[in-house]
């Protein structure tokens, strides 16, 4: 435990999950992708991938795979021409979201890879995934070869109402990273930053899937590929109860008439078969979905609910795509469906709220070209279906390595 500064608040009610209560920003920054950081993360990967507890949570196992040195060296190679003269900024204060348990870990390791010491406020919800990862970190930090990294890896929990804690940690940091949506950002921003500190914010976002209908039809004769696609869609949506900003809520079908109708029947039956025995729909979520359907009917004349076997999947066909479609969403398996032969209607409504497009049967470069050609303010990521939540060092348009580090130039 480091010595508290005279101006430190009362730390009562703060739970330390890993590291300590970091109350100074005196830790020297590293260069990005420093060897000692890569070794630490590789050790973390080995512990998590051998842990029986971790194996109960696929997202923790995926996080472990991400931390392997081989993967990190591949990422480092992508920055080969951008690392000369670059170093971390100092202390990064991360505020993790409440609805994605493993996000805190990805945010933390991004700060480490950028060369910074890190203090993470994890979700105040007591997620098992968070504790498993933090225990593994704590175990590794007690080993002599990693003891020097203890000031760089710190994870705490405290209630969101403890504005005094947020203000204190904000006053120390060189970088502040805020996850969790518009209301969280507004609340945290009441805590001032030092004059030269930088801030990265990850606000409420809206995501969608683009599916080429004719690409679905052959899957009717290939049960393995169809099941794999259904699993990929599950990973994007139901795995996070559709609460993640990356989770598709609008399904944008490319195609015409009977082709789209056949594709929908094939696709949604496969999705239902995938979720029916393992997804539990909470009563409150079911009510919220029905309210969203009713609101859609009011806001978009001509919209129709597609009848399903039950309410695990609730689909609403919309004849037009309004700019306010994001305001009609609900979690837990509500999908608005729109059909067209091009992406023009989508590009006409995309604003900065739109984050991720997942796709199937489409050319991602063509989608990217359309986004750029239309000069839209949103869409930061275009990925294959099943990969919406895959962690990238470019997120919401930020390059996490370059934005959390600084460049030292000489002439």
The verdict on 198 and 346 lying in the same domain is no
Contact 182, 327 (CB under 8 A): no
The verdict on 218 and 190 lying in the same domain is no
Q: Residue 115, Cα to own-chain centre: how many angstroms? A: 21
List, in sequence order, every residue forming a beta bridge with 96; answer none if it has no partner: none
The verdict on 322 and 185 lying in the same domain is no
The verdict on 181 and 272 lying in the same domain is no
The verdict on 154 and 239 lying in the same domain is no
The verdict on 178 and 265 lying in the same domain is no
CATH number at residue 267: 3.40.309.10
Which of 204, 231, 255 is at the close of a domain? 204
Structural domain includes residue 318: yes
Structural domain includes residue 314: yes
Segment 198-222, tens digit of pLDDT: 999 998 899 999 999 999 999 999 9
Q: What's residue 25's pLDDT? A: 60
Question: How far is it, in rounded angstroms, from Cα 375 to Cα 390?
Answer: 25
Over the chain (411 residues), what is each successive 10-residue block's mean pLDDT?
55 85 73 98 97 93 97 96 94 91 95 97 92 96 94 93 93 94 91 96 93 98 97 94 92 96 98 94 93 96 90 96 93 97 96 95 97 94 95 94 96 91
Segment 136-156, tens digit of pLDDT: 999 999 999 999 999 999 999
| Residue ranges making up the domain that contains 321 | 206-384
Structural domain includes residue 7: no
The verdict on 135 and 216 lying in the same domain is no
Structural domain includes residue 9: no
- With tokens 């750029």, the residue in question is 372
Structural domain includes residue 146: yes
CB atoms within 10 A of CB 192: 10
Which of 165, 186, 204 is at the close of a domain? 204
Q: Which of 404, 390, 94 is nearest to 240 (CA)?
A: 390
Q: What's residue 1's pLDDT? A: 36
Question: How far is it, in rounded angstroms, from Cα 114 to Cα 104?
Answer: 16
- Global pTM reads 0.88
CATH number at residue 181: 3.40.605.10
The verdict on 247 and 192 lying in the same domain is no
Structural domain includes residue 51: yes
- With tokens 């994007």, the residue in question is 236
Q: Please report how many Cα atoms fall inside a 13 Å half-sphere around the Cα of residue 153, on the Cβ side.
A: 28
Which of 156, 183, 204 is at the close of a domain? 204
Question: How far is it, in rounded angstroms, from Cα 367 to Cα 362?
Answer: 8
- How many structural domains compose the chain? 2
The verdict on 108 and 22 lying in the same domain is yes
Q: What's residue 22's pLDDT? A: 59
Structural domain includes residue 389: no
Structural domain includes residue 331: yes
The verdict on 165 and 294 lying in the same domain is no
The verdict on 222 and 183 lying in the same domain is no
The verdict on 99 and 75 lying in the same domain is yes
């Amino acid at each position: 435990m480091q010595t508290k500064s005279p101006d430190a608040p009362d730390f009562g009610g703060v739970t330390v999950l890993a590291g300590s209560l970091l109350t100074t920003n005196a830790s020297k920054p590293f260069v990005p992708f420093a060897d000692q950081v890569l070794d630490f993360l590789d050790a973390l990967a080995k512990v998590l991938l051998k842990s029986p507890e971790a194996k109960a949570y696929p997202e923790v196992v995926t996080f472990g795979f991400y931390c392997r040195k081989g993967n990190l060296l591949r990422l480092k190679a992508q920055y080969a021409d951008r690392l000369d003269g670059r170093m971390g900024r100092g202390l990064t204060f991360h505020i993790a979201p409440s609805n994605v348990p493993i996000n805190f870990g990805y945010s933390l390791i991004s700060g480490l890879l950028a060369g910074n010491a890190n203090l993470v406020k994890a979700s105040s919800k007591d997620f098992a995934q968070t504790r498993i990862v933090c225990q593994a970190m704590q175990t590794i930090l007690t080993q002599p070869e990693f003891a020097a990294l203890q000031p760089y890896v710190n994870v705490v929990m405290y209630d969101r109402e403890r504005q005094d804690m947020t203000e204190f940690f904000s006053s120390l940091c060189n970088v502040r990273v805020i996850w969790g949506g518009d209301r969280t950002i507004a609340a945290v921003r009441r805590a001032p930053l030092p004059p030269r500190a930088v801030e990265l914010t990850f606000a409420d976002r809206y995501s969608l899937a683009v599916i080429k209908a004719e690409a679905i039809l052959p899957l009717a004769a290939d049960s393995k590929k169809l099941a794999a696609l259904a699993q990929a869609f599950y990973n994007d949506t139901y795995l996070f109860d559709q609460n993640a900003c990356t989770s598709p809520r609008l399904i944008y079908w490319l195609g015409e008439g009977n082709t789209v109708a056949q594709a929908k029947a094939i696709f949604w039956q496969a999705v239902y078969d995938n979720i029916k025995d393992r997804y539990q729909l909470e009563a409150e979520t079911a009510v919220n979905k029905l309210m969203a359907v009713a609101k859609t009917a009011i806001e978009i004349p001509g919209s129709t609910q597609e009848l399903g076997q039950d309410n695990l999947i609730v689909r609403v066909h919309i004849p037009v795509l309004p700019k306010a479609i994001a305001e009609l969403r609900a979690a837990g398996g509500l999908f608005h469906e729109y059909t067209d032969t091009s992406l023009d209607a989508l590009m006409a409504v995309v604003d900065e709220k739109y984050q991720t497009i997942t796709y199937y049967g489409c050319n991602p470069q063509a989608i990217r070209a359309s986004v750029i050609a239309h000069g839209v303010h949103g869409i930061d990521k275009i990925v294959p279906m099943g990969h919406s939540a895959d962690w990238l060092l470019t997120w919401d348009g930020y390059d996490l390595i370059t934005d959390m580090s600084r460049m030292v130039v000489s002439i």
